[in-house]
Amino acid sequence: MNYTTKKLVIAALMTAFTCIATMVIKISTPTFGYIHLGDGMVLLSGIVLGPAAGALAAGAGSMLSDIFSGYASWAPATFFIKAFTAGSCGLLFHMGRRKKSPRSSQIRAVTSGLIGETIMVTGYFLYETCLAAFGSGGFTKAALYAGIGSAATGIPFNILQGVTGIVICCSLLPVLLKIPETAKQILAPLD
């Protein structure tokens, strides 16, 4: 199997893993969203596949999960937010690569995961603000303030989801690095 075919297969698997991890265990939140395990796969997509392919796999998997779970109105935003999360995580992980030690990989995974999940929290805050403002009658000053107040209630849940994603990513990364072929791909130069 050549490199391009192999990367395509891994991207398809990461898309499926992201979708399944997001759908399997869902804890509903009072803000009409849900906390899930999929963010670990989102971050791993960026790390394993690199920023571009990882962004597409994570965005597609997360979007499909929203569609299959009855959150279709969130699907377009989820695609872009999760793609940007995975892409930034993958880019930062690979940019900081000087040493090939497992400890160095863990530190880079935590650091790039924190940045990526900050993007996720911010992205959903902005999207929820827009949804709430439109629901309150458009972009008037009062509607925007109401939207900000409403969207702010989701921040703690998104932070919890992000931290869970970082923990899952950092738990699975050492396992993946022990597989020679996968470690080679993770530690290979970006294309």
Q: What would the pLDDT profile of 113-142 be if each residue is shown by its tens digit?
A: 999 999 999 999 999 898 888 777 777 888
The pLDDT value given to residue 102: 62
The predicted model scores a pTM of 0.91
Of the two residues 33 and 24, the one the predictor is more confident about is 24
Q: How many CA atoms lie within 13 A of 116 on its CB side?
A: 40
Of the two residues 148 and 189, the one the predictor is more confident about is 148
Whether residue 89 contacts residue 43, with contact meaning beta carbons closer than 8 Å, is answered with yes
Mean pLDDT of 146-154: 88
Residue 32 gets which letter from DSSP? S
- pLDDT tier, 191 (very low <50, low <70, confident <90, very high otherwise): low
Of the two residues 140 and 23, the one the predictor is more confident about is 23
For 73-87, the pLDDT digits (tens) are 899 999 999 999 999
Domains of the chain: 3-187 (1.10.1760.20)
- Alpha carbon separation from 113 to 61, 83, 84, 92, 151 (Å, rounded): 18, 13, 12, 9, 22
pLDDT value at 2 more than 70: no
pLDDT value at 170 more than 60: yes
Token readout for 124 is 């959903």
| Cα–Cα nearest to 85, from 48, 110, 126, 121 | 121
Percent pLDDT > 70 in the chain is 93
Q: The tokens 């923990």 sit on which residue?
A: 167
pLDDT value at 53 more than 70: yes
Percent pLDDT > 90 in the chain is 60
Coil vs helix vs strand at 1: coil
Of the two residues 181 and 63, the one the predictor is more confident about is 63
**d(Cα 15, Cα 125) in Å, to the nearest integer?**
24
The pLDDT value given to residue 99: 61
- Sequence-distant (6+) residues with CB within 8 A of 118 are 162
Listing DSSP states for 116-131 in one string gives HHHHHHHHHHHHHHHH
Of the two residues 40 and 104, the one the predictor is more confident about is 40
